[in-house]
Amino acid sequence: MSAPDRPADWDLLVAVMGAPYDSDATSTVLRWVDAATRRDARVQVWTCGYATLLTQRSTGPVKEPNPLDRTREHATARGRIEQLLAERPTLQWSSCRFCSTERGALDHIDAVRLRPALSFGSHVRESAKTVFVGLT
Amino acid sequence: MPEAAAPAGWLLVASRPPAPHTGDLWADATALRRTGAAVTVIATDDVCAEAVLGLGGVPGAVAAGVTVLVDSHAAERRNLAGRLPAGTAGGPCGATDDEVAALLLDPALRTVWR
């Protein structure tokens, strides 16, 4: 969906819904958003439902150390998203205020924009293409 | 809002194995292809094994003319990259993240992620 009478502000809107750790889909989304922004595409991500937990400050940027290999650090999803947002000026990350509030998850990292639920439609209109992830 | 233009083709992202609540993506891809639409399936996450090994509805979809791509990264993580047929006409073949990104960004491809 896109507004037909003017060029889109964004090349792609990825709407991430549902439980973020239910499958590998979250890491796949991050990997493909990474690839799309490497091509200088303008990409915005919108999280709804439990996917709003992905960018909580309380998660921390790195995972707990692996007891079998304490020498290596692994980024959390939050850490990975924070890194992408710092490195890619053509990436924007928004989170649904309604879903965040409902889950007590309003403390997002600074780079995340908290947006009213009803503004989702304007994000769709601004984008040349919308892809939903997490709906079956 | 005016009617959206008909898509030039479909891109189906197969991320979850078929289940009663998800239905069978391969059957949907095959049915869409039979309408004459160009259909590409990118198999990722746990579905890449099904595509690499040619299980379930994959052979039927390929026979119907569906283009089947396998997320090379997901296949590598599952130790399946070596089992991807190289250059088999019409069969599943690997796709890099960059190639998938190009498809995702193509506004002419209506994309459904399941």
DSSP per-residue string spanning B48-74: HHHHHHT-TTHHHHHHHT-EEEEEHHH
3-state secondary structure of A117: helix
Percent of all residues in chain B with a pLDDT value above 90, rounded to a whole number: 68
Amino acid B49: pLDDT:
92
The mean pLDDT of chain A is: 93
Asked whether the beta carbons of residue A23 and residue B16 sit closer than 8 angstroms, the reply is: yes
Calpha distance A75→A83 (Å, rounded): 9
Please list, residue by residue across A73-106, b when 16 or more beta carbons sit within 10 angstroms of its beta carbon and e when fewer do: eeebbbbbbbebbeebeebbbbbbbebbeeeebe
Instruction: Determine the 3-state secondary structure of A122 from DSSP.
Output: helix
Greatest pairwise CA separation for chain B in angstroms: 48
- pLDDT exceeding 70 applies to what percent of chain B? 86
Q: Does A5 fall in a domain?
A: no
Q: Which tokens is A121 given?
A: 């439609």
Domains of chain B: 9-113 (3.40.1260)
Average pLDDT over every residue of B58-66: 94
How do residues B36-50 score in pLDDT, each as one tens digit?
999 999 999 999 999
> Any idea what the CATH number is for the domain that residue A35 is in?
3.40.1260.10
Q: In the predicted model, is pLDDT for residue A21 greater than 90? A: no
A93 belongs to a structural domain: yes
In a domain, A94, yes or no: yes
Q: Which residues of A touch B15 (CB under 8 A)?
A: 23-25, 28, 133
Task: Tally the domains of chain A.
Answer: 1
- Distance from C-alpha of A56 to C-alpha of A78, rounded to nearest angstrom: 7
Reply yes or no on whether the pLDDT at A136 is more than 80: no
pLDDT attached to residue A2: 47
H or E segment and range at residue B28: helix B25-34
Nearest-Cα distance to chain A for B88, in Å, is 25
Beta-carbon separation of A129 and B105 below 8 A:
yes
Report if residue A108 sits inside a domain.
Answer: yes
Question: Is residue A3 domain-resident?
Answer: no
Interchain pair B101, A24: CB under 8 A:
no
Nearest CA in chain B to A27: B45
Which residue of B2, B44, B105 is in closest CB contact with A4?
A: B2
B4 chain-A contacts, CB cut-off 8 A = 1
Q: Could you report the predicted ipTM of this complex, rounded to two decimals?
A: 0.89
Q: Give the single-character DSSP code of A62.
A: B
A25/B45 Cβ within 8 A = yes
Q: Is A1 on the interface with B (CB under 8 A)?
A: yes
Q: Any idea which residue has 């819904």 for tokens?
A: A17
Decide if A49 contacts A18 (C-beta within 8 A).
yes
Domain that includes residue A24, residue range: 10-62+73-133
DSSP-derived secondary structure for B70-94: EEHHHHHHTT-GGGS-SS-TTS-EE
Contact (CB, 8 A) for B68 and B92: yes
Q: Is the pLDDT of residue B5 over 60?
A: no
Centre a 10 Å sphere on the Cβ of residue B22 and count the other Cβ atoms it contains.
13
**Range name among A26-30, B20-24, B82-86 with the lowest pLDDT average:** B20-24
B101, A41: Cβ pair inside 8 Å? yes
CB atoms within 10 A of CB A25: 23
Task: Answer whether B16 sits within 8 Å of A4, measured CB to CB.
Answer: no
- Residue-wise pLDDT for B71-114, tens only, equals 999 999 999 988 887 655 567 899 999 999 999 999 999 999 98
Question: B45 and A24 in contact by Cβ < 8 A?
Answer: yes
- Among A31, A24, A78, A52, residue whose Cα is nearest residue B45: A24
Q: Between A and B, how many CB-CB pairs are < 8 A? A: 67
Residue A77 placed within a domain: yes
A6 reaches B (C-beta below 8 A): no
Judge whether A78 lies within some domain. yes
Determine, yes or no, domain membership for A30.
Answer: yes
